[in-house]
């Protein structure tokens, strides 16, 4: 394994890993972050061009740019925060007689709460 | 003065016991047993550690790398910390210790822990015994890997939780 160490702080580990794997494919084994540095783990077969590419990707990395999954998780948390204030009471089935849309909204909120309990979207 | 170890001698009737003998056999050896070769590092870093590596790598080749010079025998190795995970696929995290560059346990390491929730943290730890280590200087490096996603280790930064993991080694025989 070749370990390419680049000094930098403030890293979105998932996003940087995704960017490196997207560019380098199987040459990238992963990254490690901490102690003020990023270490890109490349296979022994990684070329000097791939090493240079990895260094550039790390240098140009913007931690504020989220992955699609991170964005979806952020959106889910925001939606959950919006729905919780209106769903504090226990469900009363009689309240939903002929109220299919209201029932659907209740289900949406429950789905989000379940996902939150499971710790993922 | 750094304690030194001398193999206990077998005494015979009539042997002259000198001050040097007593100091070597009793004083020095007892002092060595009181303070055996030990190294430790307690994390209080500016940021947590994270990894996406699917092969075992050093968590921190500078700080979580301990060195002791042993007299030959057994060494206890310990670690405790708080881990967490993130990603579309949450990881299973594995840890091992590399002794002089070779992973102690091989295979999947000393332990694994499945991260079930991206909003939970998990207390992990181990104590293992390395037997029959040769006399001399030895380096112990804490290593980890994940099978997917991102694994994290709280390191006292206060960014998530402000706990302080400890990695230590001590010669015990």
What are A46-76's pLDDT values in tens digits? 999 999 999 999 999 999 999 998 998 899 8
pLDDT at A120 over 70: no
Tell me the shortest Cα–Cα distance from B48 to chain A, in angstroms: 6
* Average pLDDT of the residues of chain B: 94
Tell me the shortest Cα–Cα distance from A26 to chain B, in angstroms: 11
Of the CA atoms within 13 Å of residue B161, those in its CB half-sphere come to 15
Tell me the shortest Cα–Cα distance from B124 to chain A, in angstroms: 19
Average pLDDT over residues B62-72: 96
- Residue B62, judged by CB atoms within 10 A of its CB (0-12, 13-18, 19+), counts as exposed
* Residue of higher predicted confidence among B138 and A9: B138
Average pLDDT over residues B40-69: 96
Q: For residue B88, what pLDDT band results from cuts at 50, 70 and 90?
A: confident
Reported ipTM:
0.84
pLDDT at A113 over 90: no
Which pairing describes strands B150-153 and B92-99: parallel, antiparallel, or unpaired? Answer: unpaired
Predicted confidence at residue A121, as pLDDT, reads 47
Nearest to A41 among B55, B90, B152 (CB): B55
Which residue of chain B comes nearest to A121, CA vs CA?
B88
Chain A residues in contact with B54 (beta carbon < 8 A) = 29-30
Q: Which tokens sit at B13?
A: 């009737």
* Spatial distance between the Cα atoms of B27 and A100, rounded to a whole number of angstroms: 86
**Are B172 and B32 within 8 A, CB to CB?**
no
Which residue of chain B comes nearest to A20, CA vs CA?
B52
* Spatial distance between the Cα atoms of B65 and B43, rounded to a whole number of angstroms: 12
DSSP H/E element including B57: strand B57-58
Q: What is the pTM of this model?
A: 0.86
pLDDT at B116 over 50: yes
Task: Kindly report, residue by residue over A69-105, the tens digit of the pLDDT.
Answer: 899 889 988 998 998 888 888 777 777 777 788 888 8
Which pairing describes strands B166-171 and B92-99: parallel, antiparallel, or unpaired? Answer: unpaired
Residue B91, Cα to own-chain centre: how many angstroms? Answer: 23
User: What count of other Cβ atoms lies within 10 Å of the Cβ of residue A49?
Assistant: 8
Triad B94, B98, B104: Cα angle to 5°? 75
Exposure string for A56-68, b = 16+ CB within 10 A, e = fewer: ebbeebeeeeebe
Residue B95, Cα to own-chain centre: how many angstroms? Answer: 11
% of chain B residues with pLDDT over 90:
88
């Amino acid at each position: 394994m070749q370990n390419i160490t680049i000094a930098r702080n403030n890293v979105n580990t998932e996003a940087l890993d995704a960017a490196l794997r997207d560019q380098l494919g199987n040459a990238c084994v992963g990254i490690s972050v901490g102690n003020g540095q990023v270490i890109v783990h490349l296979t022994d077969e990684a070329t000097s061009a791939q090493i240079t590419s990895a260094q550039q990707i790390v240098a140009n990395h913007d931690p504020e740019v989220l992955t699609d999954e991170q964005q979806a998780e952020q959106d889910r948390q925001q939606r959950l925060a919006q729905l919780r204030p209106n769903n504090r009471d226990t469900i009363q089935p009689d309240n939903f007689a002929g109220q299919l849309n209201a029932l659907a909204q209740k289900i949406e909120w429950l789905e989000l709460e379940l996902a939150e309990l499971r710790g993922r979207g | 003065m750094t304690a030194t170890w001398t193999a206990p001698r077998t005494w015979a009737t009539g042997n002259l016991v000198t001050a040097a003998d007593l100091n070597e056999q009793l004083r020095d050896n007892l002092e060595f047993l009181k303070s055996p070769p030990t190294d430790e590092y307690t994390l209080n870093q500016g940021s947590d550690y994270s990894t996406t590596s699917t092969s075992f790598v050093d968590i921190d080749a500078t700080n979580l790398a301990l060195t002791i010079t042993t007299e030959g025998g057994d060494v206890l190795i310990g670690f405790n910390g708080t881990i967490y995970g993130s990603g579309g696929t949450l990881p299973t995290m594995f840890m091992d210790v590399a002794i002089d560059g070779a992973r102690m346990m091989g295979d999947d390491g000393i332990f694994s822990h499945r991260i079930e929730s991206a909003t939970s943290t998990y207390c992990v730890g181990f104590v293992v015994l390395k037997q029959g280590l040769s006399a001399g200087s030895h380096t112990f490096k804490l290593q980890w890997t994940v099978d997917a996603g991102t694994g994290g280790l709280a390191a006292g930064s206060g960014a998530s939780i402000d706990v302080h993991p400890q990695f230590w080694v001590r010669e015990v025989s």
